[in-house]
A and B are shown apart, each in its own frame.
Chain A
Amino acid sequence: MARIIQDWVDKGGSNLLNKLVDSNTNATEYRNTMYELGVLLATEIIKSLCKNNKNSVHLACTVEDADFLGKGIADTLDKAGVFVALTVYWNNTFVPNEENKISIAPIIKEFHEQIYGSVPEVLIIVKSIISSSCVVRTNLTRFIEEESPQQIYVVAPVILSGSKESLEKEFSTEISNRFQYYYLAEDSEKTVNGYVIPGVGGNVYERLGFENQNDKNKFVPNIVKERRNRQSMLL
């Protein structure tokens, strides 16, 4: 089945998706494209926030997405006057048994921006692509252990067909009923190696310029350093 592009996506959005998939796009261009996709997604999210009279959010993302897709969303919300409290997770994804192929993504490190004052009721959980939902499920479960968001926006440039249902099955109806999805495209095919086609153009770590998962986990996003400095000035 061919890719399904969401109705709200204009030509600019389609071009950004095509740039991700283009193998000639280098790491710097890829990062910028992810940032622009974050801006586009945030523009849609702002409409919902205004409608529901919400002016503060938690934004949770993975380390590889923080400075690009995540920052695009954070900067756009910030400009619109929405307070953004950032959470970043470093996941170590692996498959313990090749026979049952169950994937896990334990969190080896996490950053949480401290909130002084009222706690945001909206969580925006971001991922560059939602395929098996293993990482989103892990990070969302972790977040819910600490907080109780009333609305959960699940955000990605691309999702794999069936991943919404897979994700919802992992949570009680009480939680999954809070989900709203924001994405540009839905794909339905995967390669034998598990990469969505056309997806985000293959292995997202490599496309973003990381050598591998270990390299990605050593990375400290600039947005994390900025937010840490901001926190230390408040103390």
Chain B
Amino acid sequence: MGSKLWICFWGGVINAKKVSVRLGLQNAEECLILIYMISKGILKKKYPNEIAQAYFVYLANKHRGGVNNSKGNTYENFYTVYKIAQEIKNHSKGKNTSITSQAYAFVDDLVIEYDRKYKNRRRTRVKKSFFQIKDVSDLSWTSNKVHPLYKDFEIQYSVLKSTNKSCKQYLVVSNKKLHQKLSLSIPKSIRNHTNVEHFETADSLSKLIVDNAVIRNTLASICALKNPTIDKLVTLGTIILGAWDASNKQRVRIADIIESCLDMNPNYIKGKEQTISEELTNRLKAIKGFTFTVLHGYLSWEYNKTDKGIMSCRIGSKEFVQFEDYVKEQKEGLSFDQIESNLI
């Protein structure tokens, strides 16, 4: 994942490697300059020269600042994990949905390009959502007299619309009172295409999952286990965050994130339904006091009222086959004591 260098910007995306080769550019830095020039061109088509130049300088500085600040931004990462989990849930609707952090755009913290297949259409339609993510206690649409916040949403939507592209835009805030205030005061010029979203934050991902029902329920919906406990959801969330942090965060396909997550053991991502062999089923059913469930690729078990667990390895994996072989090798009349050490 991340071997291609894609640069996502508000006008579209550029495969930096391909463009560099075609135009004889030396590196990604030169490619970024190309994007600056394209952006300047787009802005000049829409606005008078002086205004276009001012917007262009603002955009370049905003992008530079965003890239510098993004590494330490926990809140942005938490929200991104939530959105990735949402898109993993929707993955069957389109394999090429991708996510970008710090896109070259006016609303730039996160960009999702959706790949959705529509019935009765031969080709896939791609839509985009842009997110500005703020972990602050106070903010206003209009207080910055030089470049008020709403202007970012207004310019971006206006220019995209003039190039026949549409999008949805979101301002995401962690403070509930601020969310209310901003929702009630969205400027008229952006009301039709911009929403304010509240997403609670926390000091750590594990605390977030305990406190924030939205991310907890979303992770639960992609978890292989029925009624997953918090430690399983924390495992899943942390693995997703790890896969995201390991990427270049530019146009990363959800399919690639899922693949990275599946390399971890355990990962608890909902997999295809699998059955276990009839022989293994019968041997396990015959163990006094032992019950088990096979769901979405994992085997969960209970023994009397005292013990329970979930096997870390997925059904069908090399480790599960070793467990199955071990059980089959034992004599009839198998007891829990005989298999307990292998139920890990």
Binding site for B on A (CB under 8 A): 90, 92, 94, 96-97, 99-100, 102, 104-114, 137-138, 141-142, 145, 169-172, 214, 217-220, 227-228, 231-232
Contacts and interface: CB of A to CB of B under 8 A. Distances in A.
Nearest to B204: A170
16 contacts: A94-B264, A96-B242, A96-B264, A97-B243, A99-B242, A102-B238, A104-B231, A106-B231, A109-B344, A110-B309, A111-B306, A114-B306, A142-B230, A142-B231, A170-B204, A214-B344
Interface stretch (B37-45, B115-123, B205-213): B205-213
A97 B229 contact: no
B234 interface: yes
B312 interface: yes
Nearest to A214: B344
Nearest to A111: B307
Given A97-B241, A142-B229, A137 B307 contact: no
B238 A104 contact: yes
B310 interface: yes
Interface string B302-344: 0011111111100000000000000000000000010011111
Interface residues of B, number: 38
Given A141-B206, A170-B207, A218-B344, A228 B231 contact: no
B60 to A, nearest CB: 28
A112 B308 CA distance: 9
Given A90-B344, A218-B341, A228-B306, A96 B239 contact: yes
Chain B interface helix/strand/loop/mixed: helix
B251 interface: no
B308 A110 contact: yes
B245 interface: yes
B230 A100 contact: no
A100 B242 contact: yes
B11 interface: no
A92 B266 contact: yes
Contacts of B264: 94, 96
Nearest to A231: B306
B164 to A, nearest CB: 40
B306 A112 contact: yes
Contacts of A137: 206
B276 to A, nearest CB: 18
A110 B306 CA distance: 8
Contacts of A109: 307-309, 343-344
A138 B235 CA distance: 10
Nearest to A87: B306
B179 interface: no
A83 to B, nearest CB: 17
Contacts of B343: 109
Nearest to B268: A106
A110 B308 CA distance: 6
Interface string B237-258: 0110111011000000000000
Nearest to A89: B231
Nearest to A146: B229
